[in-house]
Structure 1
């Protein structure tokens, strides 16, 4: 009996030791296995795009695995610009989910950069089309995502075929998406939320927020605004696409959009003041523009002066957005009508129109100051 007990004890000891050794071996090999799987089974063939991850780390204690230097690029482009890069892609178990008996994960992206390309040739454009990104994400993250955090991100729009080349970016992006798998509310929806802050053109604060159903994008609410936008930061874009540039001007942009049963309702409202297009020193002395180009810009400058509201000193418009997710109606003529309406009929206000609950908040000190500074004519309108 003592012999049998000793044998059982010895077996249990060796079994425990073997399990420890096996766990250590798996811990050492797991990063290499995951890296090989991602690089040769997931990222190697994604339709129009392919990718590569440089390194994988695995943490047993916090249940986290870390993808380092992930790069995704379009296959065989004329302009070899990476579509998506991220310094670290951290995936960890959500302790909040575990407390509720669910296996959920949280993801944190550090220094992600997403680049869209416009180009003369259709095959050189980089829009993200040509790959089932949901399928790729499910391969990288085989369990349910609960929370997504983005730190120090960048979104770029470039056109390398124009003269000058175009490079517009939203930088210093910090974003958080939460409740991605929460239960349905009283109306039968799963309401996730997202918040984002960043810098447009390097020094213009941008903020955005949204409510949406992560399993049904037929219904959502979105609002965004950019403050202290210096319009001359758009010069490369405006020269490339409209053959004009700006000497000065600053303002704000407001955007609200909601969808209910796939039907859209929203608007885009840019408001600028002190807009100056033609400049002898900038256009002739520095850029060497010919007289026809200077005349073209002077004409646009005259129009901007005519259509600037005399009381608010702002050139602006409001473009309504309607239709459906499949067929959105945005009229360029409406933009012109909005400019005329702002100039001669009713000055637009530098604030949200509050068509979504996201913007139905108490007035800020800035808004109160604006209203106090409005002329009596504005308040009577």
Structure 2
């Protein structure tokens, strides 16, 4: 039986029914119109949602839909925080890309990846009381409304995190720039393979004073109580760059010095424990005898300088200690006596080893760094959506 007669009849059926093609054209035109209008509709909806966030004002410049990736990207995000009668910068980003994690679909989960290019988050010392928990829940609701799919992976390139205290004298403004952050497994439950900490976060950047900032954390975001392990290295910070911070909160300033800091924290079951190891090298205090400074200021700086000279390890020209802490998330206990013992021991006895007590932080190899740079270039191309980088 040949198919030729059937094909001829089918061809004749289409040619003799112009209404069929008319409806096809109408449907195609409607779909095209919806596709053109949809980014503007989404942008207006997001701007309306941001406009009603209590205590904040925000907007987005543009929306780009990329249906073939199951994604949309937001260009030009800016959010300000209302502080009394003025607006303070809070969050901004060149690009925020939300996309479906296709790999997770094969595991029966509809989750998303988020990629941020050049985000800037500014934290400020508020002059009005703020409930941090309530504020966090408020922004969780906003994110859920803007993209109502669970987030499993987050990547940040060229980020900046800053803290500003306009109420202090002098004004404090410290920051970490060139932040690259990768977070995975945010919606994963503990398994035999992952252990009790299925989520992983790694971050590195440059601090004020050109210090090197590295952080590595593992945790269980789905746990009822905070459950995580955190390790932080802060190295080779020029103390002179921190003079505004030191003057505002410690009432001293320096003319030279290098700062290092190492931290470890382990939390589970509502309790936590850890330590902080600060190291200050080659420190010189600035103009202690300056008569333009008040008497009490000069006396205090002389005391601080004298104590640091006494407990300094002369071989290393370094002051250091180890500060243990523990407690629960309502009350913290700091080991003051242990801190003093370590301070004196470092100066007169056995020096404290630099670095954390644990093994060094994991680092990216050269191939991973090249991949990260490639992502920056891809994300900066407005004609293409960024691809999520997976370490």
Task: Tell me the TM-score range normalised by the shorter chain.
Answer: 0.7 to 0.9
Alignment partner of 1:304 is 2:308: yes
- CA distance in 2 between counterparts of 1:349 and 1:44 reads 52
Unaligned runs of 5+ in 1: 363-381
What's the TM-score once normalised by structure 2's chain length? Answer: 0.80
Alignment partner of 1:325 is 2:337: no
- Partner SS, residue 35 of structure 2: helix
- How many Å apart are 1:155 and its aligned residue? 0.9
- Partner SS, residue 88 of structure 1: strand
RMSD across aligned positions (CA)? 3.0
- CA distance in 1 between counterparts of 2:303 and 2:109 reads 64
Structure 1 match to 2:199: 192
- CA distance in 1 between counterparts of 2:89 and 2:133 reads 11
Structure 2 match to 1:103: 110
- CA distance in 1 between counterparts of 2:182 and 2:28 reads 38
Structure 2 match to 1:86: 93
- Partner SS, residue 247 of structure 1: strand
Say whether the 8 Å CA contact 1:165–1:236 is kept in structure 2. Answer: yes
What's the TM-score once normalised by structure 1's chain length? Answer: 0.82
**Pair 46,128 (structure 1): closer, same or farther in 2 beyond 3 Å:** farther
Taking the TM superposition and a 5 Å limit, the aligned residue runs for 1:286-365 are: 288-290=292-294, 293-330=297-334, 335-354=339-358, 359=360
Structure 2 match to 1:51: 58
CA deviations over 1:2-57 (Å, ceiling 9, x no partner): 699448975654454444323222211111111121111x2122233342222212
**Pair 12,128 (structure 1): closer, same or farther in 2 beyond 3 Å:** farther
Q: Aligned residues, how many?
A: 352
CA deviations over 1:128-187 (Å, ceiling 9, x no partner): 853522212111221121211111111111111222111010111010111223353128
Corresponding residue to 1:171 among 156, 168, 177: 177
Say whether the 8 Å CA contact 1:47–1:130 is kept in structure 2. Answer: no
**Pair 262,306 (structure 1): closer, same or farther in 2 beyond 3 Å:** same
Taking the TM superposition and a 5 Å limit, the aligned residue runs for 1:357-376 are: 359=360
Structure 1 match to 2:250: 242
Alignment partner of 1:77 is 2:77: no
Structure 2 match to 1:130: 135
- Partner SS, residue 154 of structure 2: strand
**Pair 104,321 (structure 1): closer, same or farther in 2 beyond 3 Å:** same
Structure 1 match to 2:38: 30
- Partner SS, residue 27 of structure 1: helix
Say whether the 8 Å CA contact 1:66–1:88 is kept in structure 2. Answer: yes
- Partner SS, residue 353 of structure 1: coil
Say whether the 8 Å CA contact 1:105–1:143 is kept in structure 2. Answer: yes
**Pair 330,28 (structure 1): closer, same or farther in 2 beyond 3 Å:** farther
Say whether the 8 Å CA contact 2:216–2:361 is kept in structure 1. Answer: no
CA deviations over 1:225-264 (Å, ceiling 9, x no partner): 0111122221101111222101111131101111121210
- CA distance in 1 between counterparts of 2:151 and 2:184 reads 10
Unaligned runs of 5+ in 2: 1-5, 364-391
- Partner SS, residue 342 of structure 1: helix
- CA distance in 1 between counterparts of 2:174 and 2:22 reads 63
- Partner SS, residue 354 of structure 2: coil
- How many Å apart are 1:275 and its aligned residue? 1.3
Structure 1 match to 2:279: 271
- How many Å apart are 1:84 and its aligned residue? 1.4
**Pair 70,332 (structure 1): closer, same or farther in 2 beyond 3 Å:** farther
Structure 1 match to 2:70: 63
